[in-house]
Structure formats: structure tokens, C-alpha cells
Amino acid sequence: MNHKHCFEALDKSLRDILSHVNDSNQNAPFGGKPFLLGGDFRQILPVIPGGTREEIIDASLNKILNQLEFNGLPEHSLTLKIGMPIMLLRNLNQSSGLCNGTRLVVTQMVDRVIEAKILTSSHIGHKVFIPRIILSATENKWPFIFKRRQFPIRPCYAMTINKSQGQSLKQVGLYLPQPVFTHGQLYVALSRATSREGLKIIIDIITKCQINTLKT
């Protein structure tokens, strides 16, 4: 997985050294010495028995594109199971509570649809169906428009402070290893719990002083 200049330098050096032994080695790759090059298995081209050049190129391109990750886009391969908490990444049906940021739990799975139960908002407890849809990436650093057909969800065992806005939960665990950026963020995080007894916070000394300052 080194740069090609490293291999070119090694090739030139071996040709120069071994040419003193045999003149024919000067024109042979790596001076006529056999070389076995190993790399990252994730970067190796896919093996297609009897495949044409076009098929191999297409398979290699899809392998690379499947590994790309974008903000707001689900992964190419989702690993789910019954009972797993998930979060919706798109507005599918606002009247049914299927909005961006809605938390659900998986109840059933089939090839093209997922049945889930809503955990938050006024539709808590309702069972809904989530289909696969075509999603487009909003990032513009690539010279093409990237689209992925996938379930618009992500596993959601925890949420960021900004993403938790609008959530009302009976129990909230807040992890603050570092001071929050602004007092507004801290207010949003603390106000997610419906009662003081349902709020647990893990903080360090600096963050604790910041919270005491906010209270005063």
C-alpha cells in the first residue's frame, strides 16, 4: 500500500545492482527477482470468474462507492436485529410521526420493508412501516451526485445534544466528558427528561463548575 514512487525506486535500484551480474537483468522488472506484493484485503480487486474487463471495473467501482460514508446518509450495509433502537433520517410521513430524528425500535424485518414501533413524540407506541428509498448526499466535494437506495435509518443507542431537540423521554443519561459548547446546548440536553428523577449526568470537575455557574 506504499506510493508507486517507492516501488519505482526499488525497481531502478535492483536493475542497477543486478546488471553487474547479468546484463539482461537491466531490462527485467526488479532486476529479474520475483516479488510478491501484499496489500489491504479491502483494497484488492474483486474476483469474478470468467468476467470481462468491464465487469471487473464495474465491480471494483461499486466496491469503492459502497465504502463511502456521508452525513445524513445510511451505510451501504445495515446490521439490524429485532429490538434494536433506530433513528429515522428523513421525513417520510409527518402525520404518522415519521419525521427526521424520530426514534423507533425494530419489531419485524423483511427484504424491502421494516416494521418498527415509535418511541417518542405524540405517536409513541404506534407501529409503522419503513421502506427503502433513494437518498442523495448533500455534500458537494465529489464531482458527481451520489445516490444510495437504502432504509433511511441508523442504529440509535444514543443521540447528540443537537439531534435530541424535540425529544421527550422518561429517562435521560447525559455524558459530558468535556464542557458543552454553549449554555443553550446544556439547557436542551437537560430539558429532554420529563422529570428530575429520570435525569442522570456523567461529568468531570470542569463541566460540574459550568453547570453550577448556569444554576446561579
Q: Please give the residue range of the domain that contains residue 130.
A: 85-155
Total of domains in the chain: 2
What CA–CA distances, in Å, run from 141 to 102, 144, 145, 146?
28, 9, 10, 11
Which residue, of 130, 155, 180, is where some domain finishes? 155
| pLDDT beyond 70 at 104 | yes
**Range of lowest pLDDT (143-152, 176-185, 205-214):** 205-214
Residue 85 clears pLDDT 90, i.e. is over it? yes
Residue 136 lies in a domain: yes
Q: Place 152 in a pLDDT band, splitting at 50, 70 and 90.
A: very high
Enter the DSSP assignment of 193.
B
Chain segment 3-13, per-residue pLDDT in tens: 778 888 988 89
- Indicate if 147 and 179 belong to the same structural domain: no
Residue 13, in any domain of the structure? no
- In a domain, residue 65? The reply is no
My answer on whether 133 and 90 are in the same domain is yes
Closest CA to 186 of 156, 208, 168: 208
Could you tell me if 131 and 102 lie in one domain?
yes
Residue 108 maps to a domain: yes
Together in a domain, 121 and 182: no
pLDDT for residue 40: 59
- Say whether pLDDT at 41 is over 60: no
In this prediction, residues 192-210 reach a mean pLDDT of 76
185 and 136 share one domain: no
101 and 129 part of one domain: yes
The reply to whether 94 and 150 lie within a common domain is yes
The H or E element that residue 58 is part of is helix 53-66
pTM score, two decimals? 0.60
Cβ-contact 11, 18 below 8 angstroms = no
Give the mean pLDDT of the chain. Answer: 81
The mean per-residue pLDDT over the stretch 32-53 comes to 69
